[in-house]
């Protein structure tokens, strides 16, 4: 088969095609999430739902789920941050949600951090988690808990430990996904609240 320059009809098989050019640099800004970011956020999360055991969700999250979560976090004034490229594509997000609903837990939150495919391993997780912790301290939160799968989430464990989280416990066989049992690792970090929170 002959390929002529500019021939749009015939394409080389994927493994013979030249890789897409690398962006000149890995540049992004961190800012609070907006409603318009939610489709990208949902896409990032659903990638891990479908392809990994780092989340115990098994069904793709819906637009409605993310709209409701955004509304709840906005109402509770809890941080929900995104990392966006200069073209405003979301390449990662980090948020906290209430650890438990009973009122005595009000100073404690659970964090959640996910990067898009290709954005991992370059320090973005560290930057996002640091920004999330600072945002939590600014609003007077006192403790953050991370619940991490005991399988396939080594990067998350390392990320949290490097950010000052300490392992406080494990549970075995509490999850079951892709035909196998999974446990959870609990890590906790004490914050330095910058103001009083009711």
Ligand X SMILES: CC(C)(COP(=O)(O)OP(=O)(O)OC[C@H]1O[C@@H](n2cnc3c(N)ncnc32)[C@H](O)[C@@H]1OP(=O)(O)O)[C@@H](O)C(=O)NCCC(=O)NCCS
Binding residues vs ligand X (CB under 6 A): 48, 54, 113-115, 120-126, 148, 153-156, 158-159, 162
Q: CB 9 → ligand X: shortest distance, Å?
A: 38
Beta strand ranges found along the chain (DSSP E): 29-32, 80-84, 90-98, 108-115, 143-149, 166-177, 180-190
Q: Rounded to an integer, what distance in angstroms lies between the CA atom of residue 115 and that of residue 121?
A: 10
The token duo for 130 is 């640091």
55 versus 141: smaller Cβ distance to ligand X: 55
20 versus 123: smaller Cβ distance to ligand X: 123
- Residues contacting 143, CB < 8 A, separation 6+: 99, 107, 108, 109, 188, 189, 190, 191
115 versus 135: smaller Cβ distance to ligand X: 115
51 versus 194: smaller Cβ distance to ligand X: 51
- Contact predicate 38/70, CB 8 Å: yes
The token duo for 153 is 């989430």
Tell me which residue has its CB nearest to ligand X: 125
Q: CB 18 → ligand X: shortest distance, Å?
A: 26
- Contact predicate 135/73, CB 8 Å: no
Q: CB 27 → ligand X: shortest distance, Å?
A: 15
Q: CB 92 → ligand X: shortest distance, Å?
A: 7
- Residues contacting 175, CB < 8 A, separation 6+: 53, 56, 149, 181, 182, 183, 184
74 versus 126: smaller Cβ distance to ligand X: 126
98 versus 120: smaller Cβ distance to ligand X: 120
Q: CB 112 → ligand X: shortest distance, Å?
A: 7
Give me the half-sphere count of Cα atoms (radius 13 Å) on the Cβ side of residue 76: 23
Q: Rounded to an integer, what distance in angstroms lies between the CA atom of residue 149 and that of residue 134?
A: 25
Q: CB 133 → ligand X: shortest distance, Å?
A: 13
């Amino acid at each position: 088969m002959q390929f002529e320059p500019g021939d749009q009809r015939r394409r080389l098989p994927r493994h013979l095609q030249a890789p897409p050019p690398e962006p000149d640099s890995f540049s992004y800004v961190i800012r609070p999430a907006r409603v318009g970011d939610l489709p990208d956020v949902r896409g990032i999360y659903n990638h891990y739902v479908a392809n990994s055991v780092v989340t115990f969700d098994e069904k793709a999250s819906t637009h409605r789920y993310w709209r409701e979560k955004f509304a709840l976090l906005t109402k509770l004034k809890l941080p929900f941050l995104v990392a966006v490229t200069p073209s405003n594509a979301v390449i990662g997000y980090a948020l906290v949600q209430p650890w438990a609903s009973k009122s005595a837990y009000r100073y404690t939150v659970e964090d959640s951090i996910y990067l898009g495919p290709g954005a991992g391993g370059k320090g973005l997780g560290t930057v996002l988690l640091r920004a999330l912790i600072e945002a939590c301290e600014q609003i007077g939160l006192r403790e953050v808990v991370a619940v991490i799968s005991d399988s396939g989430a080594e990067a998350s464990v390392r990320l949290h430990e490097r950010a000052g989280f300490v392992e406080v416990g494990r549970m075995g066989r509490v999850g079951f996904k892709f035909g196998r049992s999974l446990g959870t690792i609990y890590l906790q970090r004490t914050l330095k609240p910058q103001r009083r929170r009711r």
